[in-house]
Chains A and B, each alone.
Chain A
């Protein structure tokens, strides 16, 4: 089986057939589609409640025009959440550890918010480049800095998600390797390492959920500025 640390990050393929598409589409199978029952089973009820909660949370700060983004933001959130959480299971491939996929998600969405702002309210969206109340000599420097920070946003979004998940997965791999190697040599240290691994796993579960939420939250913030 996997002997190297980086095999988990390789795009899976079976007999030369790339399976990455299946691994990206698989999480949708886990969610029941809402059926035409008034009172449905517990799973559907909880799913509906959760989707309502996240939609309300994400869309309350947005004005009415921003509500057009409801579907894509909520579905993106669910997608990332499921993929991140499923990636914690052993021997699974996590698509969000690939920079290509995260950039493919972040860059078009960020660009969409930017272009929306530039098209509908160009002066206001350019005005975001200069915070209020800056002293006059600092204005040129600050404009450059703000432009850089604007242009680096998609990169930050993508890399943040990738780095967090990759780092987490790698840490889990390393510490479990340490545990396995230490087990015949120094069992007590091995047990200590297992405790560390347990804590790390809990952290990784939290990180998986938080990173998904942060990704979508930042996109909604960029949208708020520009819509």
Chain B
């Protein structure tokens, strides 16, 4: 069709044509050959294409890769080498992964076996958690939330679990907790281990449609607030209508490197949550784990409406802006 196809066409088809790679893999298995092709293709990429027609060897990359900023391409070319494939054998091949959770820098995606927390392919429009491929595995949101709410009901607070880990504990814990706990849902998640997800609704004043965010994908207020800001700065028409003048009308993402304005009070909005008792509290007052335990849902509220929110907030009424303590989770 166009020049683009040549790159992929030559490299595909089960690796029969190894033309674009080094000839150093004559005896490798089919799988390896396939992936080797991509290595070759990758290393030929030196810059992000200006024209659309130059399709890159993104064979096994996830969607996020396509949105990579130009510099990320070099990483692709650099990181992927023959010995990264086939990590089909070694399950712990995180060597090739970049550790950032930013968009477009996910590279272990290519290795194809184990994806750790470090590998992130973001679908830009749906940043509901920094550590998963969007929409994968293909499970309806309802079911995910249903599992999550079972977990929420049964586990104690956990502040500092890593998102992926503790698998050694799991197996033994799994069999034991059965007896000590009436609720069977403890089998879904052992105490002390990572929860799967904890989705809560988020509504923003002036935005008719709410979103959902996975609280367990974050370990601190800062990252949660950042995610929420990204989520609600998406250019839906209604959000655009609410933005202050000076921003572009068209659908461009506001990609500013900012600290969470929601938490430091410099935004016209503040982040609040409804707790188990039905009270609306300002986010950031309590330790993260305690917050996870009591939060029912979130609301991004206009600062003007947030006065008299909760006793703690009123103490700070005397100040010009909400307390800086809200940045992060450390109480004063």
Are the chains A and B members of one assembly?
A: no
* Chain A residues engaging chain B, CB cutoff 8 angstroms: none
* Chain B residues engaging chain A, CB cutoff 8 angstroms: none
